[in-house]
Structure 1
Amino acid sequence: MADSNPANFANLPKDELREIAAKGGHASHGSNSQAEDHPDRNPDGTFTKGSELAKELGAKGGHVAHEHAVEKEARNPDGTFKAGSKLAQELGEKGGHAAHEK
């Protein structure tokens, strides 16, 4: 059943929806001026060849991905920790230290 609310996106014309979506895309990806201001970026926003920033961010992403993989191995499908999980021990210690710092 169609809603009569004019603010409902389903009721907007397709061209207006595209315009709104384009604004969101430009806002989230930044404009080319941001890329031009950064020496490690090409005008299209991609990294320049051999970019130190690309190496740094790639390494950071690799570490995060590895942490998630380790965490996934330490957990049961329902999200609880597996018995004897090293991650559970580490996080428990971290929580205990944080509780005593307050």
Structure 2
Amino acid sequence: MNSIIEFMLESAVVNSIPIFFAAGIIALIGGPLLKKAGIGTYFRGLIYSVIGVSAGVWSYTVFDIPGRGIELLEFATLTVGMLLYSLVIIMPIVAIKNRAKT
């Protein structure tokens, strides 16, 4: 069990740059559109996190394991680990930024 948690943490931290870069770009471009559409703060944070996780998984498959496919259990573990990691960092940023603007 410890090796799974270590794998989740390591892969999330190593792929932090693509996770937060993609989430930041989407927040800058799509944030105002999502606000106008009436989407709530926490749902916007979830959308940014999911897009960041997809970029992180893409980065993992392209750079960390080139030449082989990703297995289902590996994909599920990566997705859960990266989603938790990005939610812990992105949600407070979105909530504080929303609180500061209102």
The two structures have a TM-score, normalised by structure 1, of 0.27
More helix per residue: 1 or 2?
2
Q: Which has the higher contact order (CA 8 A, sep 6+)?
A: 2
